[in-house]
Amino acid sequence: MTPETITILKEKYKDDPMAWDREYLCKSIPNKQLQVTPEFAPHHIIEQLPPSTDLFHKPIKFDVYIGVDTGLTDNTAIVAGYWHYSLQQFIVCYEYTCKRPTIPEIAQHVKNAQEAMKYFQFSPVHIHTTIDCFEIVGNTLRVEYGLVFHRPKKRAIPDTISVLRQFLKNNKILIHHGCISLIHELGNALWEDKPNENAKYRDWE
């Protein structure tokens, strides 16, 4: 490719330099038109958690939420955080991912997340745990492992993603920098095609 050709191509992409970097410099830059959460930005990532004590140095407690997407045939992900009433923001501070875990392993990882989040909770009643799983798996987790949780209400994927995008757009979510997998997905996950009611998205990898 001649320098003249490069100049012509760069001029073609002058209004979209990220596309130039992606298509011709082979940089790992997601296509914004297919990005699942284009609102996600570096300012959503925090190095330290917000203060959890009041003016009198008494600990502030929060409503804790744990979300689990089980994958007996693919990946399982656990994400946990809490709603900070003073800041009016949801703080994500815990994640765990693994491939094809067994039911006992899923149960143990959920209990690990619950134990890790005890520092932030008002009381055991205020740990809201949601597990997306098959009914038979849910029954096993409840009966054999004593987990208390509810299953999510299913909605169309674009509708669910839309709620997340609104939270990001309005800066209602902060994510601790240690949640590496979540940060990667929010920054790089792409729709397979134009979003619709049956849309699916694929990992950047």
Distance of alpha carbon 15 from alpha carbon 10, whole angstroms: 10
Question: 45: part of which helix (H) or strand (E)?
Answer: strand 45-46
Distance of alpha carbon 96 from alpha carbon 119, whole angstroms: 18
Structure confidence at residue 192 (pLDDT): 77
Distance of alpha carbon 157 from alpha carbon 153, whole angstroms: 12
Res. 136: pLDDT tops 70 = yes
pLDDT digits (tens, 9 = 90+) for 1-47: 677 776 766 677 666 666 666 666 665 666 667 888 999 999 999 99
Q: How confident is the model at residue 171 (pLDDT cuts 50, 70, 90)?
A: very high
Distance of alpha carbon 102 from alpha carbon 190, whole angstroms: 29
Tell me the mean pLDDT in the region 183-200.
Answer: 73
Res. 205: pLDDT tops 50 = no
- Model-level pTM? 0.76
- The position carrying tokens 């209400």 is 153
Q: Can you tell me whether residue 81 is helix, strand or coil? A: strand
Distance of alpha carbon 180 from alpha carbon 177, whole angstroms: 7
- The position carrying tokens 């990220």 is 18
Structure confidence at residue 19 (pLDDT): 65
Beta strands (DSSP E) in 54-196 are 63-69, 75-84, 89-99, 127-132, 173-176, 190-191
